[in-house]
Amino acid sequence: LRHLVVVLGDQLDRQAAALDGFDPALDAVWMCEAAEEATHVWCSQQRLAVFLSAMRHFAQALRDEGWPVNYTEQHPGSLAEALAQTLATTRVQAVLMTEPGEWRVQQALQAACAAAGVPLRELQDRHFLCSRAEFAAHARGRKQLRMEYFYREMRRRHRVLMDGDQPAGGEWNYDAENREGFGPQGPGFVPPPVRTAPDAITQQVLALVQERYAMHPGSVAEFGWPVKRAEALRGLHAFIEERLPDFGRWQDAMWEGQPWLYHSHISVGLNLKLLHPREVIEAAEAAWRAGRVPIAAAEGFIRQVLGWREYVRGIYWQQMPGYLELNELGATQDLPAWFWTGDVPMRCLRDAVQQTLQHGYAHHIQRLMVTGLYLLLHGVDPKQVHAWYLSVYVDAVEWVELPNTLGMSQYADGGLMASKPYAATGKYIERMSDHCRGCRFKPAVRTGPQACPYTTLYWDFLMQHEARFAGHPRMALQVKNVARLAEPEREAIRRRASAVRAGQWDAA
């Protein structure tokens, strides 16, 4: 063979650089379902099904075009072992691969090629609008990185939402308009998301997952994720027409039993590379220019895709491999076992964890301010937090999951991703959802058996880290309130906090 082109499960992009100049007479595509990818974290059934089905569909589409595809189903070992076996039995002049999305996989495949004495050419991932080199240039010479400045640079460079050299509508950021809760009436009718009925390939995958991975978290009893580009595009367009107009307003709001709300649910299509971020951004901008959506909604959405998504990737590659080891707050608690079942009395957490296990999905505020906030305040070891998020979400790939989890939500990087910890009491959840209405815990109470665990743990968190945050400009006010607490109250908080950590919900 001239080229063996490695295509990983999150590289299902016909336009990828590694496929440029592919000659079916000389080259072959190499794909593998390696057991290690399903088990290095305890991968949920939904996530397994999405990746396996999308990979099989991509391979089938290439075969339909007459391309040779060396595809291994359910290899018992790792990607590197599988590649080494192929290289030992096939003469290959060079291996080609688009830059992987995970440092661990990149290292392993580089080592496998080196050991086999076959040159490996890694090609730039054109899926992203900011290359790793461009991000490094942005970061060079800056004492502190901030998403907002990166985002403005991206808007200018890619001419997104710009009128001449000015931001469209006059402002760079309309976030202040994007923080509404639903109020007591709730969301009312929400246009339902596009769900795709499983075809024959997906049905086979679902049966495989139910049989081979029955012990893995969650279930695939319901499965509707896109596994082909056409399906992902259908979901994108329905979102732009039906839900984007209200996306901004309700971006942070939650409602019990409503997992989908006004979000786009395109992260899985984007992260598997079925969709290109440029087409997503262009569709949102076009809808605003046509007068179909308000600027605050279009800008708020575009900021997530052009700003946050590209920014976290930049941070990941700038910081790895050391990033994985960070633990600024010295958190050492184990992940509570109920994160794998949702069996917990707090309604917000039960709802978020159960829908996560059922669908492999939760929206940003559920991830940040329900599960993430709880784990931060509980003091869970960031590596265990990372392993949970990487396991359960269908859109989880390490380059995007890790900075969001370890950095933004757990503050384990000491403020690189978020300028201060996202620490809050149960009152935040009360304001943004209806969960607290029927919950037995009271968000305004911090001690005793009725205290909302968030509220108790919030005060306990501030007490634990009082000295660290005393001089922090954005935490000063919160820390000042803690300084006012008398010792008996502190003791009551500590007592209730350890009861909560032990799952003794009724203990004072």
Residues 6+ apart with CB under 8 A from 110: 120
Which residue, among 230, 284, 297, 240, has the nearest Cα to 264 in the 3D structure?
240
Task: Report residue 254 as tokens.
Answer: 């939650």
CB of 390 to ligand FAD, least distance (A): 7
Between 167 and 259, CB nearer to ligand FAD: 259
- Tell me: does residue 105 bind ligand FAD (CB under 6 A): no
Task: Report residue 225 as tokens.
Answer: 């994720």
Stretch that binds ligand FAD, among 111-119, 214-222, 282-290, 401-409 (CB under 6 A): 401-409
Among the listed residues 395, 413, 434, 460, the single contact to ligand FAD using CB under 6 A: 395
User: How do beta strands 94-98 and 3-6 pair?
Assistant: parallel
Residues 6+ apart with CB under 8 A from 21: none
- Tell me: does residue 130 bind ligand FAD (CB under 6 A): no
How many residues in the shown chain lie near ligand FAD by CB under 6 A? 27
Stretch that binds ligand FAD, among 281-289, 303-311, 338-346, 474-482 (CB under 6 A): 303-311
Sheet holding 28-34, edge to edge: 69-75, 28-34, 3-6, 94-98, 120-123
Among the listed residues 209, 270, 392, 462, the single contact to ligand FAD using CB under 6 A: 270
CB of 331 to ligand FAD, least distance (A): 14
Stretch that binds ligand FAD, among 66-74, 109-117, 228-236, 360-368 (CB under 6 A): 360-368
d(CA 460, CA 357): 29
Q: Is 144 helix (H, G, I), strand (E, B) or coil?
A: coil
Among the listed residues 263, 273, 347, 446, the single contact to ligand FAD using CB under 6 A: 263
Task: Give Rg (Cα) of the chain.
Answer: 23
Among the listed residues 51, 182, 308, 454, the single contact to ligand FAD using CB under 6 A: 308
Between 151 and 459, CB nearer to ligand FAD: 151
- Tell me: does residue 372 bind ligand FAD (CB under 6 A): yes
**Count of CB atoms within 10 A of residue 438's CB?**
8
Which residue, among 184, 353, 190, 196, has the nearest Cα to 260 in the 3D structure?
190
Between 414 and 448, CB nearer to ligand FAD: 414
CB of 231 to ligand FAD, least distance (A): 15
Up-side HSE of residue 402: CA atoms within 13 Å toward CB?
A: 24
Task: For tokens 């910890």, name the residue.
Answer: 421
Among the listed residues 4, 227, 266, 418, the single contact to ligand FAD using CB under 6 A: 266
* Chain residues in the site for ligand FAD (CB under 6 A): 263-267, 270-271, 304-305, 308-309, 312, 363-364, 367-368, 372, 389, 393, 395-396, 400-401, 404-405, 408-409
